[in-house]
Chain A
C-alpha cells in the first residue's frame, strides 16, 4: 500500500510539473464520485428494500431503480484518451420467491417429492464490488476530459451473498397436489462469487469553473446484458438449479440485473 501511494504521489508530481501536457488546461487527473442507476426490470426484484421506489419491482408494474455508487480516478493520457480506474459498490436484497423458480433437484438427479417445482421464500442480501479499468476515447473535435466519449474496459465483479437458511424452506407441490415443505441444503450462509465482464458505453464530460467535472452517460456490462437476454424466458427466470448451485446462480443473476445497463452521473475534481 505504501509503495502504491508513493508511486501515485510521484506520478502526480511528474504529471503536473511537465510544461504543456494534455488535459483540461494542463490538468490531467480527475477523482470523484459516480451515481449509477437503472430501471429495475427483470432479474431486479428486490422486494422494495434496496432500490428507489416503494415496493420497487418493475415486473409488478411499479417503477423502481437500482442504484450503484462509484469512486473513480482518471488520468488523461493523450489528447483524446483517458485511462481510469473505478470501484463500484452496491448492496441489495434479492427476493427469490417472486422471481425465481426452484426445481428441487437432489445432487443425484432425482427431485424432492416428485416432480414439483417451487419457490423459495426469503431474501438474499447481496453486496457487490466491481473493479474496472477503462479507457475513455473522445470523439472528433473533443479533447479529454471535455466532450463526448466512448468508454470501454474490463471489469471484475465480486459479490458476497448472505442469507438465513432457516428462513428459506421450499414449498413444493407434487403432481397429486400434495404440498410439502423442507429446507434444502443451499450451502454456506455467506458465499462469495466473482465474474468477469466488459463495460462499454457513451458519455459526456463537462468542466465547470475549470475545476469540477460533470460526467453523464450510460454504459452496459456486455456479458451481463447478453446473458440476460439469452436466459430470459417469458417474464420469469427459469432454470433447474440444483440446491448446491442455487445461491451462486441466483446471486449472479441478481448482479447482472444491476449491472447490465446503467445511466450514470458523476462529479469529480480536476487536478
Chain B
C-alpha cells in the first residue's frame, strides 16, 4: 500500500516529467486516459482474495458468516469488474486530483487514507460509489456538475463515511435477510419499503459522518449544503445557457425564427418528492439536516478552495469535455451538442468541440434517415424526445432538431462540418465527416443547380462577377456560373438556405470538386422528409453504414462464408455461469472457467498459427496501461455499436478516429469476441458465441452463435473454439 508521501511523490514526479502537463483546452482536448502503473487489482488473483476474506471472516465471531462470505465473493468480483471495465480511469488527471482531495480530508488520518483507492469513472451519471474494500468511484458526471472544490470534498467525505461505517456490507446483509424472510407475511412492497428505509438511514448517517470529516478540513461549511443543490438538479446539463441559433448561421445562411424556441420552460423543484421507495432521502431533508449542523458552527475563515481554484476548474472542464464524449457514446446527441455548445462559449477555437458538434449534426442527419436507430432495448428507447419533455434552455436544441426538416438539417450539417474542416484542416474526423456529408447531401431534393441560386442584388454585390452566360463550359465552375446566371434571370427561388454554400461555391475549389454534380444526383422522391432513397457509399463514408445487411444462410450461420482472416484482436473472452437455483451468476465458477477459456483460445490460436493480440484486462501486468486504454476504446466502440441493437447495424460515431489508430497499431481491423453462458442446476443450457467485427467496414464478418441443450463440457467448448478458428482461416 502506498503511503501518502510516496503517492504525493509519484504525482509530483508525473507532473515534473510533463506526463500531466495541463492540456491547452483553448485549442484542443485529448480524451482522458489511464496512466502509469496499474494497481494491484489488475494483477491479483481474485479467487485468492475472496478465499482470504472468507478465511478472515471465519476466524471472527459473527452471526452472519454465510451472508457475509457471499458478500465478499460478490463485492470482490464487482469491484474487479468496475476497475477493469475500461471505464475506470487510473492515475489520470482527474483521479489524481480526487486523491489529492482525499489527502486534504485525511491529512490527520494516514491509516484510513492508505486504505482508500479512489478513481474517476467514465460515466455521465451524477453519482459516486463506495465499497467495503475502500474502493471509491466518482462519476465524471458528478465532477462536471460540482461548483467548487469544497462541494466535491464533501461528497468525497460522504463516500469515505460509507466505507468507515461498513454500510455496503451491512446493507447487503440486511437486504438479504429481508428477502429471505418468507414467514412474516410481508408483501414485495413492504420489503421494498423496509429496504429503502434502511438504506436511507445509511445515507443520512453518511451525510452526518461525512460532515464530521469535512469539518476537520478548512472547507466552507455552506458548500456542504450546496452540494445537495448539485444533486437536486443533476438531471440538468452542467450549465444552463441560452442556445442561440446564430451559432449555426453564417452570412449566407440564417435559420428561420420559427425554428427557435423563444420561451423555455421553468425548472421543476422536486426537492420534496416522496422518497419512501427511494434508497436516498430527498435532497430537501438532507439539506435541512446539514443546515442544522452548520447553523451553530463558525464558518469564518473557511474557504471554497484549499488545493486551488484553477486546478478545480481545469479538472471540472476535463470532466465536462468527457461528458461530450459520454453523451456521444450513449447516442444522446442533443445533450452532447448542448454540452459542447456550453464549452464552446469558453473555448471557441477548440478543435475537439467542433468535432463533437459535427458528430452530433452528422449523427442526427443519419438518425433522420433511420440509419441511427434507437430500438426498444436501448436506454434511449424513445429516440430524440420532444422539447416539452425537457427543462429550460436545452429545450431549444430539442426544438430545433424536431422542427427542422431532415433535408434542411443535412444541408445545415454539411455547412457546419465543412467549415469546421476548413477551420481545422488537420482534423481527420472532420475531414472524413465532411466527405460523408457530401454523400448524404446527394439525397437532398436540391441539386447543385438549386444551391447556386441567388438573387441579383447579392450576386452583383458580392460573388458573381460575370453577367453573361459562359458559352464554353470547361469545368464544373463554369457550369455553376451558368446556372447561377440563369437563376438570377429567373429569380424564382425563395428557400432560406438557397445561399448557404454561396461563398464556398465561388471561392473554395475543394468544396466545388467534392460537391456532387447535379447530373450525378440519384434521388428518388419520397413523401415526408424530402429524402430520397439513401444508399451510403462504402468507399468514402466516415461511418461505414449499411442500411440493409444482406444476410446469408440461416440463423446462426456465418454472415460471410468466405471470409479468411489470419490475425485478430482478441477482446476479453467472457464466461458466465448462472446458478439457476440461486438465480444469480456464480462468480467463482465463472472466473475459473473464464481463465480456462482464455487459455484454450490462446492454445488453439497458437497451434493453428493464428495471430491474436489479446486485449483482456484479466491478462495484464502492472505495466500494461496502454492496453487498458486500448481496451477502453474498443469497449466504447462496441457499446455504441451494439447497445440495444440486436441487428448490430448500429453506426459507431463517437470514437471512430481512436479506433482507426488502434487498427494501425495492431495491424488488423478484425476484433474477435468469444463468449459462453451456461446454466447449471436444473435443465442444462450452454450458449456459445464467437463473432468478428471488421472495424474498418463496421460490419460483422463472422458469427457463430449456437445454443446447446447440454452442459458446458470441455469438448463442446474446444470444438466450438476450434471451429471458429478453422472457419476464420478457411471459410465455412
Contact = CB atoms under 8 A, between A and B. Distances in A.
B245 to A, nearest CB: 57
A113 B316 CA distance: 117
B603 to A, nearest CB: 8
A73 to B, nearest CB: 20
Interface in B697-729: 706-708, 713-716, 718-720, 722-723, 725-726, 729
Interface stretch (B34-42, B405-413, B604-612, B674-682): B604-612
Nearest to B604: A25
A201 interface: no
B730 interface: yes
Contacts of A10: none
A146 B716 contact: yes
A26 B722 contact: yes
Given A19-B609, A141-B706, A24 B715 contact: yes
Contacts of A52: none
A141 B722 contact: no
A119 interface: no
Interface in A8-65: 19-22, 24-26
A68 to B, nearest CB: 26
For chain B, what secondary structure do more than half of its interface residues adopt (helix, strand, loop), or is it mixed? helix
Contacts of B604: 25
A26 B719 contact: no
Nearest to B608: A20
Given A141-B706, A206-B715, A208-B715, A24 B608 contact: no
B708 A141 contact: yes
A233 interface: no
How many A residues are at the interface, by size bracket?
Answer: 10 to 19
Interface residues of B, number: 21
B485 to A, nearest CB: 66
B708 A24 contact: no
Nearest to A22: B726
Give chain A's interface secondary structure class: loop
Nearest to B688: A141
Nearest to B721: A25
A19 B726 CA distance: 10
Nearest to B716: A146
A20 B719 contact: no
Nearest to A141: B706
A19 B564 CA distance: 14
A46 B714 CA distance: 43
Contacts of A143: 719-720, 722-723
A20 B714 contact: no
Interface in B593-621: 604, 607-609
A146 B708 contact: no
Contacts of A207: 714-715, 718-719
A210 B608 contact: no
Given A20-B608, A26-B608, A210 B714 contact: yes
Nearest to A214: B715
A205 to B, nearest CB: 8
A79 B714 contact: no
A137 to B, nearest CB: 16
B599 to A, nearest CB: 13
Given A26-B608, A141-B706, A79 B726 contact: yes
A71 interface: no
A141 B719 CA distance: 10
Interface in A110-154: 141-143, 146-147
Interface in A210-237: 210
B608 A147 contact: no
A208 B725 CA distance: 21
A24 B718 contact: yes
Nearest to B723: A143
Contacts of A146: 715-716, 718-719
A72 B705 CA distance: 33
A102 to B, nearest CB: 52
A165 B202 CA distance: 99
30 contacts: A19-B609, A20-B609, A20-B725, A20-B726, A21-B726, A24-B719, A24-B722, A25-B607, A25-B719, A25-B722, A26-B607, A26-B722, A79-B723, A79-B726, A141-B556, A141-B707, A141-B708, A143-B720, A143-B722, A143-B723, A146-B719, A147-B719, A206-B713, A206-B715, A207-B715, A207-B718, A208-B715, A209-B714, A210-B715, A210-B718
Given A20-B730, A25-B607, 5 more contacts: A21-B726, A25-B722, A79-B723, A206-B715, A207-B719
